[in-house]
Structure 1
């Protein structure tokens, strides 16, 4: 993960030419941070979660690595889930926080920084955040104005109202232990 030392404003950041390079760059609390290159486990979780969320019979759609521009931050969650009526018709970022976001902890990422990123989004309208830690075999669940919930094993993962998705922590984490299983 690369972090710059100079502090940037959101307009300054959005004018930089490299922010859409892979891996993406984010602006968090004035600092420019490049996301780490995903591992195979990270990519498998992204792929399986998007595939599970999209057909879940709701008004939401899931996107891997989609930029969201907040009031002073610009974030690229590992999975951004937004109501379909918020999907831009032009090739522009999502305006505002995602409705639901999922972060997948990579080996060189800070849990604290990812929690801060999710909390920033919760302050601006995100209703639900998951932070998946496959090393510890847990998924942290964050809601606005609530404590962090630490879920494991057969705990059922919460989803926004109207999303017909029934997943447990062990099901999600099982995808990286046996990636050939859908």
Structure 2
């Protein structure tokens, strides 16, 4: 069991990349939204750096030249965190709840060790998804993913 856990966490960056690629394949060309990795977002008297944050297209901060801004002084529409072995689930959940309290529509907390995903919706309801269950995604995004599909990305 320990070897499987260790191998899974070595592929954290693979899971991160596959998640971003999957989301952006569905939303970016249609200008629905865009997923970013490790982007500092400052809002509600705090700065957070989610593993993945998704912004609806019309909310992506831009500078005078219509380029993506260097600073994101707004909350993401969807925040995704992937637990690492030494990370406190409480701290991660607190970051997601900070986002939700400030306007974020959806938060995910992926737990590779337990192979489940906690989904926090804008009404602060928390649901746990496992196995073949389809996970709730940002409204308006035509994407269906199961927990198994997501964690299979660890094996690429």
TM-score, length-scaled by structure 1: 0.73
Matches within 5 A, 1:10-159: 40-57=10-27, 59-90=32-63, 91-159=69-137
Kindly state the Cα deviation for residue 123 of structure 1 after the two structures are TM-superposed. 0.3
Kindly state the Cα deviation for residue 40 of structure 1 after the two structures are TM-superposed. 3.4
2:6 is matched with none
User: Would you say how many aligned residue pairs link Structure 1 and Structure 2?
Assistant: 140
The superposition leaves residues 103-162 of structure 1 with CA deviations (integer Å, 9 ceiling, x where unpaired) of: 000111000110010000000010000000010110000012233101000010111221
The superposition leaves residues 20-53 of structure 1 with CA deviations (integer Å, 9 ceiling, x where unpaired) of: xxxxxxxxxxxxxxxxxxx532211110011000
2:4 is matched with none
- Which structure ranks higher in relative contact order (CA pairs < 8 Å, sequence separation ≥ 6)? 2
SS at match of 1:55: helix
SS at match of 1:85: helix
**Cα distance between partner residues in 1 of 2:109 and 2:95:** 10
TM-score, length-scaled by structure 2: 0.85
Change (3 A) 1:88 1:147: closer
Q: Does the 8 A contact of 1:66 with 1:93 survive in 2?
A: no
Kindly state the Cα deviation for residue 88 of structure 1 after the two structures are TM-superposed. 2.4
SS at match of 2:104: coil
Unaligned runs of 5+ in 2: 1-8, 64-68
Q: Does the 8 A contact of 1:86 with 1:94 survive in 2?
A: no
**Cα distance between partner residues in 2 of 1:67 and 1:146:** 23
Unaligned runs of 5+ in 1: 1-38
